[in-house]
Amino acid sequence: MQWVAVGLATGAIALNYIDRSTLAIGNVTIRQEFGLNATAIGALQSFWSITYAFCQVPIGFLLDRLGPRYLIGFALIAWSAAQAAGGLAGSYTQLMWARITLGATESPAFPGAVRITSDWFHIKDRGKPTGVYNSGGSIGPAIAPPLLTALMLGFGWRTMFIVMGCAGLLGALAWFKLYRDPAKTALEPRDEAYLAANRAAEAPVELRNWSRLFRFRSMWGLMLGAACSGYAVWMYQTWLPAYLEMQQHISIGRTGFLAMIPLVFSVLGAWAGGWITDRLAKSGMELVASRRLPAIVGLLASGVFTVLATTAGNATQAVIFISAAMFFLSLGIAGKWTLITAVAPQSYCTSVASIQNFGGYLGGTVSPLVTGMVVDITGSFVTALAIGAGITMLGAIILQTMVRSPISSEALEVDPLVLARSRQ
């Protein structure tokens, strides 16, 4: 049941990302149909991202209060309807509202996966499942280029959007049929004992205590570090196919295949990141440090390879450098997500995850728009990639300097002003 739960979460995230990728795959065709420039198409991604970001904050609180089964299941239905609506859009404005709705309804997927992992796994065993569900964010975009390009070339971009909406409804049926919360599942005594520490640490999440998360340096470090990694993720996920078409002069048909290669390396990076964090924790390294180190190394290495990508003189070099950059980016992001359950109290894991993800999508909001503007101004992706590299490395510095200690349940339950007075 542990891995059924993680598999369903991974599948939901993969579907989530395939739906997001429809805009990237249809980028050039949609621009031609609606007469848009690169800045306008980047703005569509930014509208989606800012909506997703602001929905993260209440979603985390609701997931901690209500659990993932019904919230994620109904969200799957809603975002699939929004995805299909994009294919029926008759104007730029209608397409914009479809993407905004998609952003709002996709918001429970990643925080829900954190809740599932923290419910089903002991704290020292969460690295591997975290790497697996994080790989859904790369599996989806890896599948997306060949699948969506074939749909678009065969039937048009509108049919591509509608088909993915129908696929999401089937996914919702599978979710409701198979997913169960551990507290409502009959388990063997040894499994009950394995999860006992999780359940003993559970307590109702109170809104006033939840708001105190923002008083902690570690919470701000997670959020700001995520903003930097989110910038890099959405620079690549939004613009990779267009980069190969425009910068390296590759046909749309070949782009569908070549854009898949770096995303396959992203999957491998996510798995590697989850495995490494568990190995470091079991070797005796302090828990927060064992999760933070892979995140820092991954982000630094990704920035280096992104810089190298600015020097690529042909498609082969570009794919090699970007594949390495995305491998290490995913490795770092897997470390960053396991860092949540090392820093946050059990009952607040989803809340901290959603706040972190809020930061990630602030970066993801800025990234597509800035990249589009830089490409319009310079006629090249070189400067845009250099900016992304610098921001990625900044994320590593933030995690190293700001995320140093866990947040305790006791600290959240005590008003800081009362605590300060008691120490006087």
Q: What is the residue extent of each domain of the chain?
A: 2-177+205-415
Is residue 412 pLDDT above 80, yes or no?
no
What is the mean pLDDT of the segment spanning 350-359? Answer: 86
Instruction: Give CA–CA dist 333/131, Å, rounded.
Output: 9
Q: How far apart are the C-alpha atoms of 98 and 83, rounded to whole Å?
A: 7
Q: Comparing 337 with 8, which gets the higher pLDDT?
A: 8
Average the pLDDT over each of 18-22, 138-142, 155-159, 383-387 and give the range with the smallest value: 138-142
In sequence order, what are the residues at sequence separation of 6 or more whose Cβ sits closer than 8 angstroms to the Cβ of residue 315?
244, 248, 250, 258
Q: How far apart are CA 352 and CA 350, in angstroms?
A: 5
User: What's the pLDDT band for 419 if we cut at 50, 70, 90?
Assistant: very low
* Dihedral (CA of 262, 337, 78, 39) sign: negative
Q: Convert the pLDDT of each residue in 24-44 to its tens digit.
A: 788 778 888 888 777 787 788
What pLDDT, in 10s, does the model give residues 109-150? Answer: 888 888 898 888 887 788 888 888 888 887 887 788 788 888
For tokens 């749309």, the residue is: 252
Instruction: Using the predicted structure, report yes or no on whether residue 423 has a pLDDT greater than 50.
Output: no
Residues 299, 297: Cα–Cα separation, whole Å: 6
Residue type (1 letter), 204: P
Give 208's pLDDT tier (boundaries 50, 70, 90).
low
Q: Which of 58-72, 109-123, 265-279, 281-295 has the lowest mean pLDDT?
A: 58-72
CA dist 278 and 276 (Å) reads 5
Q: Tell me which residue of 194, 182, 161, 207 sits closest to 23, measured CA to CA.
A: 161
CATH topology classification for 2-177+205-415: Growth Hormone; Chain: A; (1.20.1250)
Q: Mean pLDDT over residues 84-96, rounded?
A: 88
Neighbours of 300 (CB within 10 A): 17
Give residue 206's pLDDT band: very low, low, confident or very high (50, 70, 90): low
Alpha-carbon distance of 349 to 2, in angstroms, equals 18
242 vs 111: which has the higher pLDDT: 111
> What's the pLDDT score for residue 203?
57
Is the model's pLDDT at 417 over the cut of 70? Answer: no
Q: How far is CA 294 from the centre of its chain?
A: 17
Task: Pick the closest to residue 89 from 161, 7, 32, 29 (CA basis).
Answer: 161
- Residue 297 CA to residue 269 CA, distance in Å, equals 12
End-to-end CA distance of the chain: 50
Q: What's the rounded Cα separation, in Å, for the pair 117 and 341?
A: 9
